Structure 1
Amino acid sequence: MELHRFAHRRTPPAPVSPPGQGLTRRQMLLGSLATVGGVAAASALAGCAPAASASGARELAYWHLLSGGDGVTMAGLVDQVNGMGNGYEATQTVLAWGAPYYTKLAMASVGGRSPDVAIMHASRVAGYAPGGLLDPWDLDLLAELGVRESDFLERVWAKGRLEGQQFSIALDSHPFVMMYNLDVAEQAGVLGPDGQLAPIESPEQFLEVARAMQAVTGKHGLSYGYLGDGAQMWRLFYTFYKQHDADFDLSGNTAVVDRDAAVSSLQFIQQLLDGTVATASGDYGTAVSEFMSGESGLFFTGVWELPTAKSSGLAFDAQPIPTLFGTPAAYADSHAFTLPHQSSPDPEQRRASYQFVADLLQNSFGWAEAGHVPGFQPVVQSSEYQALVPQSHYAPAAEILNYDPEAWFTGSGSDFQNYFLETVQDVYLNGSDPAEGFDAFVRRVNVQLAKPNPV
C-alpha cells in the first residue's frame, strides 16, 4: 500500500454547518436525484445500476447524505477513485440529511432496489442491521483488498460489529472538539511553552481560563450554541457524562443510567452558560459567528467546522475537549460504509463495491484535509497527516470517542437527541433543576424502549 496516494485530492472544501441542524446543512435533495461533481445520479432510486458500462467498468450505485462542503469533498474523492481504473464507475445519489435519507434507505432495502454501497452514521447501524436491512461485510475479501480490522481504532471498528458480523466500515470519526483563538489565548496568558493551550484538568481551571479569555475579548470566553438544537445539547452533555466514566445502557426495557454523573454534568453546563463564560441563550449560528469574528477565545464544535474556521482567516488551533471529570472522553459519530441488503447480489458487482470502498478508505487524505479524522489508520499515521494542523492536534479525540447509547431509536438524525431537547433545554436556558430535567429525559427514553423496533 502506497501512502503517497493519500495526497492526490485537490477539491477545495467549502464551509459547512454541523450535522444535526435539520435539513439546512445536509439538503441536496428531498426525495429526488442530484448531480454531484459532474456525475448525474440518473437511476439509483429506480433500482440498482446496470452491471457494466460501455467501457466494461462495473457501474455502482452509491448513496450518501453528504452535501455542502462535505458533498464537494466526497465528489472529488469519488472522481479520484473512479479514475484509478479499478473496474468500477460509481454514480452518486445524495439525499437529504436525517430522517428522509434513512427512510428511503430502509424502503430501498425492503423493496429489493437498494444501492450497491451506502453511507450511514455508525450510530444508526444498530437500528438497521437486526432487521435484515444490511448485509454483512466479507472480511476476507476486504483483507484481500488491503483493509483489515487492525487498520482501525478498536472502538471505531467495534461499532460496526453486531452479533459476530461486521455491518459497517468507518470512513471517519467526527468528534466534538474545542477550537481556540491563538491570539486571545496568548493575551490571556494561557498558552504553554509549545505554543498550544496549556493543559486544563478540572472544571474550576476551565472556568478560570475561559474568564481570562473573556477579559481579553470583552464579550465571552467560550462560544457554545445550543438553543433549539438537541444535537448540540447532547454532544456536550454526553462528553461530560462519559468523562465521569458513566454508563448509559439501553439494552433492556428501561434505561440504566448514572443520575449523579448526569446532574454533575448539567450543573457544570449551567456554570458555563452564565452570560460571561458563554451566552445563556445562543444558537449554533451565533456561536460560529462569535468565534470566527474574534469575540470569544474558545469554541465547542465538531471537526466539520474546520473549513469555516480556516476560511475566516482566524489564528486558531484545536484539541480534544479537556478532561475535566477524570476520564478522557469525547462524543463522536462516524460516517460508515454499508451494504444495503440485496437478496441475490452478483459476486462480481459485490467485488467491485468492495474495491470502491477500499480505494476510498486508502485515499481518504482529502477527507482528512476537510476536517474529519480518517477511520483508516494508515492515513492518520502517515507523515502527510501528521503535518496537518490542527487536524493532527485533535485526532486523539478519535481514540476516546463515545457513540450514542445503542438502541433502535438513537443515533445521528434520529429523534433521540430531540427528546433531550424537549426535556432538558430549560435546564440550559433557564437554570431549571438538572435532576428533574434528566429524569424527564429518562422517562421519555423509557417510552421508546417499551416499543419494538419498527424495522
Structure 2
Amino acid sequence: MSKGFKSVAMAFIVLCLVIVTGCGNANGGNNGGNEASGNTAASGGKGKTDILFWTPFSGADGEFMKKIVEKYNSSQDQYKLKMVVQPNGEYYKQLDVALSTGKESPELAVMHVDQIPTYVNKGQLNPMDELAATAGVKKEDYVDAPVKYATIEGKWYGIPLDVHPLVMYYNKDLFEKAGITAAPTNRAEFEAAVEKLTDKSKGVYGYVLPTLWPQQFIFPTLVWQNGGELWNGTDVAYNSPEAVEMVQWLRGLVEKGVSPGDVQQDGENTLFLQGKNAIQFNGPWMKGQFDEAGLNYGVAPVPQIGKAKQAVFAGSHNFVVPKTVTDANVVAGIGDFLKYVASNSMDWAASGQAVASKAMLESEEFKALEIQSNVAKSFDHVQFAPNVLNWATISDPIWGELSSALLGKKDAQKAMDDAAAKSRQAMKK
C-alpha cells in the first residue's frame, strides 16, 4: 500500500484512517464527478445507466481497481461505472462535503470498515440488505469479520472487497545465512531468530523497531495478543498491564541490541530494502514495492508474541451506498457490479491484497498466489479498530506517547497513562 494509505491508518486506521494499506490520480481527480450520473446516456445506440463510483486508490493500486471497472463496463451494456479517484489523504474530507451538500455525491464508494459506524450514525449510508438480496449477494459469500463489523443493529452497510491485516515480511537470504528454516510463529521463536539474524558488525539487525507508522497496526496486535483491549466498553484501556507489558517488550528489543534505537519514519523499511533488516511487520500493500526492488522475501502471519491468544489488527475496504441514492436503475446497477466483483476480483488480488470473497479465496488462481494466500491465513484472527464513534480522534494520543516510550524518552507505564489521560480529555470535548 502506498504512503497515502498511511495517513488514513495513522488516524487509526485507519489500520489504515488504514492503512492502508493506496494512493496519483488515475482518473483525472474530480473531473469525472462533473459528469451526470444516475442517468441514462446514449452509448453505442443503447441506453446505459451511469453510476458515479469514488475510491481513495490514488496510488499504484488504483490501476488494479480501474481494470476491474473497465472489464465490468465491457462485460455488459446496461450500466457504466464512472470511477473517480480522490486523494487518499483527503478522501474522507471530500466525501463529507459531497454527502453533506449532495453536490457531485458518489452513488457507490469505497470506505474503510472502521469508518462505517460513524457514517451510519450520521445517517449517511443506505443499508445494503435489499440491494444485496436482489443481486444475489449473500453475507456468507464473504470473510466473516468485516461483515459482522459492518452489520449494525441488524442491517448490513458494507460489502467487503478485501481484508488487509498486519503481516510479517522476512528476508529469505538472511534467514538462510542464519540457518533459520522457517518463519517464527511465537515469542520464543521470534526472539531466538532475531538474535541469530543480528550482525552489528555488518549493520544487519534481526528486527528494526519502528517508532511511528506502522505502530498503528503493530501496537493493537500485541495488546490483543496479550489479553488486553484498547477499549473496555466504557473507557480507553491501553494503559493496562497487558498493554504496558507489550510496550516494554518492544523497547526491550532495542535494549537487547537486535534493533537500532532511533528509527526515523520508514527507517525500518529502508533497511529492509537494503537487506539490513531481516524482519518487518507491515501490511499487504508493501508487496509491490518489494517486488520492484527484487527482494528475495517471504510473508507469514505475525507471530503470537502475547501470552493470551493469536490476534492481528486489520483494515478492510468496503463498498457502501450513500443515503441519497434512490434511483432504482442505479441501485440495480450497483448490485450487478458488486455481484461481478465477488467472482472477478483477481485483479485486486494482483495489487497484493487478499480479497474478501470466499469464492475468490477458494479458487486455484488465488491459492497459486504465494504472498496473498499467506496473508489470508490471518483472516480467522483479525480484529478491527474499536466500534466507537470518533475513535480516530480519541485514540490519536497513543502514537506520540508510544513513540516516546519506544525511543526510551519516557517510562512505558507513564507514556500509556498520559495517552489515556489525553484520550479521556478528547472524549469530553
TM-score, normalised by the number of residues in structure 1:
0.84
> How many pairs does the alignment contain?
412
Shift of residue 258, structure 1, vs aligned partner: 6.6
Once the two structures are superposed, the pairs formed by residues 3-402 of structure 1 within 5 Å of their partners are: 16-17=2-3, 19-21=5-7, 28=24, 35-36=26-27, 42-44=31-33, 49-55=37-43, 56-85=47-76, 87-98=78-89, 100-113=90-103, 114-139=105-130, 141-192=131-182, 197=183, 199-202=184-187, 204-215=188-199, 218-227=203-212, 229=213, 232-249=214-231, 251-252=233-234, 254-256=235-237, 259-274=240-255, 276-325=257-306, 326-342=308-324, 345-402=326-383
What is the CA–CA distance in structure 1 between the aligned matches of 2:114 and 2:278, rounded to whole Å? 31
Shift of 1:345: 0.8
Shift of 1:50: 4.4
Distance 2:413 2:163 in 1: 31
Q: What amino acid sits opposite 2:116 in the alignment?
A: V
- Equivalents in 1 of 2:331, 2:364: separation in Å? 33
Cα RMSD, aligned residues only = 2.4
2:190 aligned partner, one-letter code: F
Determine the structure 1 residue equivalent to 2:13: none
8 Å Cα contact 2:174/2:197 also seen in 1: yes
1:15-59 Cα deviation digits (max 9, x unpaired): 834722479x9664xxxxx552xx785352x58614122121111
CA distance in 2, matches of 1:153, 1:295: 36
Distance in 1 (CA, whole Å) between partners of 2:283 and 2:95 is 26
**CA separation in 1, counterparts of 2:319 and 2:65?**
13
Distance across 1 between alignment mates of 2:36 and 2:255: 54
Structure 1 residue runs of 5 or longer lacking an equivalent are 1-14, 29-33
Identity of aligned residues (%): 23
Moved runs in structure 1, 4+ residues, more than 6 A? none
From the superposition, tell whether residues 384 and 90 of structure 1 become closer, same or farther in structure 2 (CA, over 3 Å).
same
d(CA) in 1 for partners of 2:230, 2:297: 34
Shift of 1:180: 0.6
Distance 1:388 1:360, change over 3 A: same
How many Å apart are 1:340 and its aligned residue? 1.4
Deviation of 1:430 (Å): 2.0
Unmatched runs of 5 consecutive residues or more in structure 2: 11-19
After superposition, the Cα gap between the structure-2 partners of 1:222 and 1:119, relative to the gap in structure 1 and judged at 3 Å, is same
Q: Quick check: 2:161–2:356 contact (8 Å CA) kept in 1?
A: yes
Distance 1:102 1:302 in 2: 21
Query: Aligned residue for 2:413?
Result: 435
Q: How far apart, in 2, do the equivalents of 1:379 and 1:186 lie?
A: 33
The 3 A distance-change label for structure 1 pair 392 and 332 is same
* Secondary structure in structure 1 of the residue aligned to 2:165: strand
Please state how far the C-alpha of 1:246 moved relative to its aligned partner.
2.3
AA aligned to 1:214 is T
- The answer (yes or no) to whether the contact 2:64–2:348 under 8 Å persists in 1 is yes
